[in-house]
A = this chain, B = another copy of it.
Amino acid sequence: MKRKLRMGMVGGGLTSLIGPIHRKAAGIDGEIELVCGAFSVVPGESKATGESLYLNPKRVYENYQEMFEAEKNMPPDQKIDFVTVVTPNHVHFGPSKMALENGFHVLVEKPISFNLDEALELKKLVADTGLVLGLAHTYTGYPLVKEARRMVADGKFGKIRKVYVEYPQGWLSTMLEGKGNMQASWRTDPKQSGMGGAIGDIGTHAANLAEYITGNKITEICAMLNTVVPGRMLDDDSSMLLRFDNGASGVLFATQVAAGEENNLNIRIYGEKGGLEWRQEEPNTMILKWLDKPKEIIRAGQGYLSDDAKGFTRTPPGHPEGYLEAFANIYRAFTKALREYEPGKKIDVAKYDFPGVDDGVHGMAFVQTAVKSSKSAEKWTKLD
């Protein structure tokens, strides 16, 4: 396919935070072209967004239903290849489903859906259609996260024993949702966000990161979810003890009331022989720790990294890459899969190294289990 892939977008209007980030990330590698969108259901906003993006006005739609109706009939040399869904959580399912039903691949923001049932329905649709669904678990897009996964898989640290994963943010330390902050408003509203607040918004990223790097699954959790800011409708703070399927244990916390923190996702893992430490805010550095020798500092872009990491780097060492590039790596892997897609061929997301529908289903189960555990007087709750 000697052309750029054509992308449509659902959501991502003028007030969207994540929409522009998707567009920028998709634009970095020069493999994707945004050609249409249904950016907002606020009257006029979709059109205005399309104009600001220099899109053909004919392909700027008022809603996603209209978009898919029109796009499915486009001639093959204009038709979109896939759609990116960047709406609030409660509108992830609808456009994803309709896209798949109309023959379009999907890249959907995380969480995959509003609840577990929807996620399972999408899983079935993916299986039935054979189309590709990618999930924007951005943080596994960082090259050093991939290196970490590689090192664990290669047994560099021996059997993994302990996992500490944290996601402190501070931006919801006050009642922002009462002050017209759009991001705060929908994220703390159970009707738009789902059953989880902080646990769904960022706790899922933490759990996903831990499972991605270790290659182990969380099997039991003991959770405490809190609503720290009075009047808030969902949890804004969570902590939990974890047990993994390989016998390791750990701690996860995700909070949005850690005043003064920005977006400090970080993870520490320890095995029999050593461990690692990585922080998203300085993503190009990872510390390795060893039993009887000096710690090491490994750095993105270096020649000594594995191919798993090297395939997701754009600059030489010391020329920092960031969040947009991690995001672009999701698109890079997703795009590569799409270029190799053929009807009837089964695309294995693990081969291309991007999160897919199974990660989405598991994430929804994680949130549901955390909420259940938090309400339980029993210590441990199983996560299937």
Partner-B contacts on A (CB < 8 A) = 2-4, 17, 20-21, 23-24, 27-30, 34, 51, 53-54, 157, 161-162, 164, 166, 168-170, 173-174, 222, 224, 226, 228, 237, 239-241, 249-251, 253, 255, 257-264, 268, 270-275, 280-284, 287-299, 301-304, 314-325, 376-380
Contact = CB atoms under 8 A, between A and B. Distances in A.
A44 to B, nearest CB: 17
26 contacts: A2-B54, A4-B54, A24-B28, A27-B27, A30-B53, A164-B253, A222-B241, A239-B249, A251-B251, A255-B270, A258-B268, A260-B270, A260-B295, A261-B275, A262-B317, A263-B318, A280-B318, A281-B284, A284-B322, A287-B297, A294-B297, A294-B298, A295-B296, A295-B297, A315-B323, A376-B379
Contact of A299 (B28, B250, B294): B294
Given A54-B3, A162-B237, A322-B319, A260 B28 contact: no
- In the A-B complex, the 8 residue pairs with the smallest Cβ-Cβ separation, listed nearest first, are A260-B289, A262-B318, A263-B318, A320-B322, A319-B323, A295-B297, A322-B322, A294-B296
Contacts of A3: 54
Contacts of A170: 270, 275, 289, 291
Given A251-B251, A290-B260, A291-B173, A323 B320 contact: yes
A170 to B, nearest CB: 7
A332 B108 CA distance: 28
Contacts of A24: 28-30, 314
A338 to B, nearest CB: 15
Nearest to A289: B260
A255 B162 contact: yes
A304 B292 contact: yes
Of A23, A228, A259, A321, the most chain B CB neighbours within 10 A belong to: A259
Contact of A239 (B23, B241, B301): B241
A291 B157 CA distance: 24
Contact of A257 (B161, B222, B301): B161
Contact of A378 (B54, B263, B378): B378
B27 A30 contact: yes
A299 B296 CA distance: 12
Contacts of A4: 54
A252 to B, nearest CB: 9
Contacts of A290: 259-260
A259 B275 contact: yes
B164 A259 contact: no
Nearest to A161: B228
Contacts of A295: 260, 296-297, 299
A90 to B, nearest CB: 22
Contacts of A302: 294
Nearest to A376: B379
Contact of A321 (B299, B319, B322): B322
A284 B240 CA distance: 31
A324 B169 CA distance: 26
A296 to B, nearest CB: 4
B237 A224 contact: no
A253 B251 contact: yes
Contacts of A298: 294
Of A239, A290, A299, A301, the most chain B CB neighbours within 10 A belong to: A239
A299 B262 contact: yes
B320 A282 contact: yes
Contacts of A251: 239, 251, 253
